[in-house]
Structure 1
Amino acid sequence: MSVELGISYQQIGWISFSMLMGYAIGQLINGNLADRLSPKIMILTDGSLSIICNLFISYANTYGVILVLWTLNSYFQSMAWGSGSKLISNWWDSNECGKAFGFYTMAAGSSSVLTFFMALLLLQQEQSWRTLFRYPILFLVFALILFLIIARSHPALKGFILQSDNVLDQNTQKLGWKESYKEVFRNKNFITASCAIGFQSMARYGLIFWVPIHFLGKNYKESTGNLWLTLFIPIGMAVGAISFGYISDLIFNKNRSKSIRTGMLCSCVIALLIYFIPTPHHVLAAVLMFASGFFVYGPQANFWTLSPDLLGRKLVGTGIGVMNMFAYVFAAIGEPIFGKIIDYTGNTSNIFLVVAAICASCAIIISFVKPQTSINKHE
């Protein structure tokens, strides 16, 4: 894209910035909608509009058009995460919530594996970057059809008998738009956790977006080993997501803060190790790539469970929407910074020093979130 359209790495960073900001704004709006509308309808709408945007991007020829379409695509995709989280919270109680969100986050990470794999295949076949916006939407079409047939927004729609809502849920059931947001923003623990996920997301996208540029560079066609090395990052992320769902519940006894802090400190150490490991050591680099993805993304599964834990089920959509807004605003700010650092220093390995500092910041901030048992135990 950079070569064909004649744009700099910093401009690529601004495209990524627009994508992340579109997602962040959408999360703030659509998370609240997920508490009021059908999660199933919102997800189906999201998928359909995203397909259209990706198809149009594949035919775009100017920087400005791609910037706008990418922003719109991200806004439409933001309709899905809060809605899916609401659906999960409707179907699983606090005892199984950690594992359920682990699988949910794993699914998101697995999509990166598929995207990376397809990108690598297309690069080897010397295909245009445009094809990467066309093939994945075929999988999305198939997934939407399955979701339409199988998914239900609430267990009651399948005739299951539900446990009574807890006291907090009953108090927040009839909250309006403003009251819902006030309830979320006045919760200091939750807002502190939202700031922490901001740094976690910044580190995550630093790896996803810029590490391939570090290992591939302009000579990717001459280095097949480096080409496939980047695939270990999303694989590690997918495995880490489901693992941390169990790690939080079984090892840390549902202490989400401690689980997240441990993961981010490990990410900090691994990023520093990668910085000092020469790229020709492919086996060791592959292990470190997998580990970096595992520890930087895995803790995100623990962040989402903080919404029902701290806010109650009736505010799950609003809470996760606000939290995800923080995540993507921080990530959006980070993208042009990463690009500027590369343009200024001419050394892509500096990415890992920045990621290490970001992970350490996340670990420090999440330490201020007080451990709490799920409020659902007050039923």
Structure 2
Amino acid sequence: MNSILRYFAAQPDAPPLGDQGAIDAEFRRHRRNVIVVITLCYGLGYVCRLALNVVKKPMMDAGIFTPEEMGLIGSMLLYGYALGKFSNGILADYANVKRFFAAGLLLSALMNFGMSMSTVVWLSAALWALNGWFQGFGAPSSVVALANWFSNNERGRYYGIWSTAHSIGEGLTYLGIALLVAMPPKGLGLHWSWGFITPAAVCVLASLIALRFLQDRPQTLGLPPVAEWRNDVINQVSTRARDAGTILRDQLRVLAIPSIWVIALASASMYITRYAINSWGNVYLQEIRGFDLFDANLFIFLNTAAGILGCVAFGFISDKWFSARRPPANLIFGLMELVPLFVIFFGPQNDVLLAVALVVYGFGLSGILASLGGLFAIDVAPKNVAGAAMGFIGIFSYIGAGMQDYISGKLIYQSETRVVFNMGDATPTVYFYDYSAPIVFWVGASVVSVLLAACLWRVKARD
């Protein structure tokens, strides 16, 4: 056990380099590698998190699970992720994030391999809960890397770049897996199990990339803290000695920051809407709008593709237009996320209008996700406990998301109408579902999120 703990523990500081030219060169090289690796690998790892969402309808049609059982299984991942993101966020502050990140990706891959063979509710729920736990290694590791390698007045831009990983991963999932399992001619028509096997293989590859190219803190390479290197020190909190007592005290101080609690509640509300679209959006389009599996996932892909631009735009706008203040950008992007929901669910039944609304929704959602999902929290928390701040926000966010998945599944199942056709010896049954109640739940959560975020207008960053 001790050898395992030593393997994952943060490395000790190396003797400082004396050559400023060498320091500059090392920072430039490793900063480039860090942002590329955490964005790429987090995006690839995302595919292992969302695979169930794409194969949900084929599994329901095959009679493997009911909507209520699907909601239960889906919620277990989100509860597992909530606990994992919080506990692993605390551990990430002490860990060598390169090894920590890679381990989470590998273990998540194993859970997806298991899901490809499971048709038992309790086993699938257990595997998906563990998958959520292991997925919780990724975001805290990435945020700790961002806090260690990028300073305050640039972090919004780089956080925005990293946040594109959410959209990259969602896009790869909804389009890539749909191509595998959708029926010809639009897809390959493979068995639903390939919707888990392929993401597992992708996660193994991502684990190897992270282990090879990601780096621990700059000080382990003999470099100074990034705030000193960039002359961007607000105060001296981030330059104190990295000892366990200091880290633990600062982790506890996170809980005493009122704005952190408001951010957590706003993020939880936003995640209800976010995962409603992620988990049930393509099912809604198939059940209510009459799309086939491929077209439904193609429309959901539009929102994720727009999200790539939304993440980058949020970081740039909040850094450049508002001098690294997040609240004004939160309001702009929050409204861009909220208004299209009314068009999607209550507007005219027009495919072009639906596509435009999903694009605007994805753009706004990804911006507000970048902020409420982590950036705003690490702005207002001490930087040596960025992982704990991210984990605290994460546990609220994914408890909200998990409640959404179970409640949505139950509401949909309770609305079930069965129509039985008498055809001699055969009596086929067709199931119809009403989404009115879930839609009110999803849109209402978005309204609450925007209002809570607006309450933080005067909150400022610290180092």
Give TM-score scaled by structure 2 length: 0.76
CA distance in 1, matches of 2:296, 2:126: 32
Confirm or deny that 1:142 pairs with 2:205: yes
Q: Relative to structure 1, is the Cα distance of residues 29 and 225 closer, same or farther in structure 2, using a 3 angstrom cutoff? A: closer
Confirm or deny that 1:327 pairs with 2:397: yes
Of the three residues 173, 196, 199, the one matched with 1:133 is 196
Which has the larger displacement, 30-39 or 155-164?
155-164
Identity among equivalent positions (%) equals 22
Confirm or deny that 1:106 pairs with 2:156: no
Report how far residue 360 of structure 1 moved: 0.9
Report how far residue 373 of structure 1 moved: 3.6
Give TM-score scaled by structure 1 length: 0.91
Confirm or deny that 1:342 pairs with 2:412: yes
CA contact (8 A) 2:259 2:459 kept: no
CA distance in 1, matches of 2:397, 2:296: 29
Aligned to 1:46: 104
CA distance in 1, matches of 2:106, 2:168: 20
CA contact (8 A) 1:203 1:296 kept: no
Aligned to 2:352: 283
Aligned to 1:64: 122
Report how far residue 355 of structure 1 moved: 2.5
Confirm or deny that 1:301 pairs with 2:370: yes
Aligned to 1:364: 451
CA distance in 2, matches of 1:282, 1:350: 23
Confirm or deny that 1:229 pairs with 2:330: no
Q: Relative to structure 1, is the Cα distance of residues 169 and 161 closer, same or farther in structure 2, using a 3 angstrom cutoff? A: closer
SS at match of 1:254: coil
SS at match of 2:137: helix
Q: How does 1:140-179 map to 2 (within 5 A)?
A: 140-162=203-225, 163-164=227-228, 166-169=235-238, 173-174=242-243, 175=245, 179=249
CA contact (8 A) 1:34 1:42 kept: yes
Which has the larger displacement, 133-142 or 345-354?
345-354
Q: Relative to structure 1, is the Cα distance of residues 190 and 218 closer, same or farther in structure 2, using a 3 angstrom cutoff? A: closer
1:140-165: CA deviations, max 9, x gaps?
Answer: 22222222222111223444343457
CA contact (8 A) 1:198 1:330 kept: yes
Equivalent position amino acid for 1:160 in 2: L
Confirm or deny that 1:208 pairs with 2:278: yes
CA distance in 2, matches of 1:141, 1:220: 36
1:220-239: CA deviations, max 9, x gaps?
Answer: 78586445222212212232
CA distance in 1, matches of 2:242, 2:447: 38
CA distance in 2, matches of 1:351, 1:16: 16
Equivalent position amino acid for 1:335 in 2: D
CA contact (8 A) 2:336 2:363 kept: no
1:111-146: CA deviations, max 9, x gaps?
Answer: 010000122212133222211111122222222222
Q: Any unmatched runs of 5+ in structure 1?
A: none
Report how far residue 352 of structure 1 moved: 4.0
CA contact (8 A) 1:248 1:302 kept: no
CA contact (8 A) 1:172 1:315 kept: no
Q: How does 1:31-42 map to 2 (within 5 A)?
A: 31-42=89-100
SS at match of 2:99: helix
CA distance in 2, matches of 1:273, 1:375: 39
Alpha-carbon RMSD: 2.3
1:247-292: CA deviations, max 9, x gaps?
Answer: 222233322123223222222211111122344x222211111111
CA contact (8 A) 1:267 1:292 kept: yes
SS at match of 1:253: coil
CA contact (8 A) 2:272 2:400 kept: yes
Aligned to 2:143: 85
Of the three residues 327, 331, 347, the one matched with 1:261 is 331
Of the three residues 244, 250, 269, the one matched with 1:199 is 269
Report how far residue 5 of structure 1 moved: 4.6
Structure 1 runs of 4+ with >6 Å offset? 218-221
Q: Relative to structure 1, is the Cα distance of residues 103 and 347 closer, same or farther in structure 2, using a 3 angstrom cutoff? A: same
Q: Any unmatched runs of 5+ in structure 2?
A: 1-58, 416-432
Q: Choose between structure 1 and 2: higher helix proportion.
A: 1
Q: Relative to structure 1, is the Cα distance of residues 61 and 11 closer, same or farther in structure 2, using a 3 angstrom cutoff? A: closer
Q: Relative to structure 1, is the Cα distance of residues 351 and 287 closer, same or farther in structure 2, using a 3 angstrom cutoff? A: farther
Report how far residue 375 of structure 1 moved: 1.6
Equivalent position amino acid for 2:377 in 1: S
Which has the larger displacement, 43-52 or 342-351?
342-351
Report how far residue 171 of structure 1 moved: 6.2
SS at match of 1:299: helix
CA contact (8 A) 1:172 1:314 kept: no
